[in-house]
């Protein structure tokens, strides 16, 4: 596992053999960033929810976004994210939250994001629940992106968001939603 592009291009990331940990493959990461490249800039605040190793959030930082908030509840993964950020000298532009994503979305401490990356356990249903909470609690800027890494069966419909892109890579689906602002 490595950083694909940006300031940290080619640098290796540490992973761990943790049950349920399924790091985003380099191939899928590259595809995601090719799809969203026109949207990236140095002013963005990004969320990496169910962060695992932190590889996707680190990729955002390497590509120059302002800040990434990593949310993960497994302490072993939190330690891995910290180690990867420290090794790449990216800690200053990162916030790490140990806890449940849904609780974080409901909390007053949760900022409004420009891009949210969701990679929950594939068969959990958390992706749908998270998207609903993001919209309900106004956690995404108008025209913000919600990127979901899921299994092939994942579907979500809501009048407040539309699918910008959807691609399949083996047993993984990437769905990029564009938020158009909450309708009253």
Give the three-state DSSP class for 28.
helix
Please identify which residue in the block is written with the tokens 């309900």: 136
Choose among 117, 112, 9, 133: nearest CA to 57: 117
- pLDDT class for 183, splitting at 50, 70, 90? very low
Summarize pLDDT for 79-95 with one digit per residue, the tens: 999 999 999 999 999 99
CATH for 26-179 is 3.40.50.150
Convert the pLDDT of each residue in 103-133 to its tens digit: 999 999 999 999 999 999 877 889 999 999 9
């Amino acid at each position: 596992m490595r950083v694909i592009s940006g300031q940290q291009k080619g640098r290796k990331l540490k992973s761990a053999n943790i049950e349920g940990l399924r790091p985003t493959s380099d191939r899928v990461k590259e595809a995601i960033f090719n799809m969203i490249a026109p949207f990236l800039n140095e002013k963005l605040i990004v969320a990496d929810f169910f962060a695992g190793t932190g590889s996707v959030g680190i990729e955002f930082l390497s590509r120059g976004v302002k800040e990434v908030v990593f949310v993960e509840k497994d302490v072993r993964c939190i330690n891995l994210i910290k180690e990867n950020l420290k090794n790449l000298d990216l800690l200053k532009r990162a916030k790490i939250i140990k806890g449940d994503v849904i609780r974080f979305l409901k909390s007053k401490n949760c900022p409004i994001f420009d891009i949210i990356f969701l990679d929950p356990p594939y068969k959990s249903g958390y992706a749908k629940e998270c998207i609903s909470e993001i919209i309900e609690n106004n956690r995404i800027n108008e025209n913000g992106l919600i990127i979901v890494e899921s299994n092939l069966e994942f579907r979500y419909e809501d009048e407040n968001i539309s699918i910008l892109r959807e691609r399949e890579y083996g047993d993984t689906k990437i769905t990029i939603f564009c938020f158009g602002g909450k309708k009253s």
